Amino acid sequence: MDRSGPAELLEIAIEVARDAAATAYRMRVEGVSVAATKSTVTDVVTAADRAVERQVVDALRRLRPGDAVLGEEYGVGEAGPVGPSGVRWIVDPIDGTVNYLYGIPHCAVSLAAEVDGEVVAGVVCNVNTGEEWTATAGGGAWRDGQRLRCSTETDLGQALVATGFGYEPARRAHQARVVAELIPHVRDIRRLGAAALDLCLAAEGRVDVYYEKGLAAWDQAAGALVATEAGLLVAGLGGLPAGPDLVIAAPPALFKPLHDRLADLDASGGP
């Protein structure tokens, strides 16, 4: 049996991510505080971010010893950037750490599996509600057994737009200027605080579109697959793939209008 097929990898991802979400939930109930700051004073990490990533890495080592793992808190695991199996797991142990810290029930464990550099399976588990979004490449996007389809909105002026901000002050200032220019041209803006969940909400039309500059692989790997499998186009500016410069996720009819507006506003520029 091929143990590296998308369905098998998804099964493992779901098992590991569910346990991780349970740990995050339990640790939040017990009480959390800031353990350290990272890139800036507003970029915080809690003991739970670290414990959850450790748990995920340990579980994957046990279940899939030949695989590589990339995580937000510990980077590349001992197996190195690529394991002998060609599979690499990408984990954001808690996406939405600031929400987690403040007890806002909108944060998630995000876990994706890449085979030879392509994301083929992903799961995003909301730590508080237990909602679970999953996708496999070519196998559709699902939430709790329901197939997902993105919004059918065709008018950017009627679109609910999710976005987020990085932690670095000059970058945030640029991102705020982009939002200020964009908001008169859309229905409204949401800054919900967890990129993986933003992509999953777009996958089921709970927001129409999403964009953000500055995402890392762990922020978007699972969510972008869920969004793509739900029918959104996920890409960067000017035909580039989605990446740190910009991620745009939009239904086909809204992609070009949003793309062109963001290009005019230099959304991928600035610091």
Q: Which does 193 bind (CB under 5 to 8 A by kind): ligand IPD, Ca ion, none?
A: ligand IPD
Strand partners, 150: none
User: Is 83 one of the binding residues for ligand IPD (CB under 6 A)?
Assistant: no
Give me the residues that bind Ca ion (CB under 5 A), please.
Answer: 72, 92, 94-95, 97, 219
Residue position matching structure tokens 């994957």: 60
Report whether 187 contacts 237 (CB < 8 A).
Answer: no
Nearer to Ca ion, 100 or 142 (CB): 100
Q: Nearest Cα to 124, choosing from 172, 91, 152, 158?
A: 91
Nearer to ligand IPD, 37 or 152 (CB): 37
Q: Which of 92, 132, 153, 229 binds ligand IPD (CB under 6 A)?
A: 92
94 is annotated as contributing to ligand binding = yes
Three-class HEC string of 185-221? HCCEEECCCCHHHHHHHHHCCCCCEEEECCCCHHHHH
Nearer to ligand IPD, 82 or 189 (CB): 189
Residue 71 Cβ vs Ca ion, minimum distance, rounded to whole Å:
9
Q: Which does 166 bind (CB under 5 to 8 A by kind): Ca ion, ligand IPD, none?
A: ligand IPD
Going across the sheet that includes 247-250, the strands are 188-190, 160-163, 209-212, 247-250, 233-235
Residue position matching structure tokens 């982009």: 178
User: Is 211 one of the binding residues for ligand IPD (CB under 6 A)?
Assistant: no
Q: CB under 8 Å to 7, separation ≥6 — which residues? A: 121, 136, 139
User: Is 214 one of the binding residues for ligand IPD (CB under 6 A)?
Assistant: yes
CA 24 – CA 52 distance, rounded (Å): 6
Assigned token pair, 112: 């994706």
Report whether 18 contacts 132 (CB < 8 A).
Answer: yes
Which positions from 27 to 66 touch ligand IPD by CB under 6 A, shown as an x/- string?
----------------------------------------
70 CA to centre of own chain: 14
User: Is 219 one of the binding residues for ligand IPD (CB under 6 A)?
Assistant: yes
User: Is 257 one of the binding residues for ligand IPD (CB under 6 A)?
Assistant: no
User: Is 151 one of the binding residues for ligand IPD (CB under 6 A)?
Assistant: no
Nearer to ligand IPD, 66 or 271 (CB): 271
User: Is 97 one of the binding residues for ligand IPD (CB under 6 A)?
Assistant: yes
Residue position matching structure tokens 């967890």: 194
Binding residue positions for Mg(2+): 72, 92, 94-95, 219
Q: Which residues are annotated as a binding site?
A: 72, 92, 94-95, 219
For ligand IPD, the binding residues (CB under 6 A) are 72, 92, 95-97, 164-166, 193-195, 212, 214-215, 219
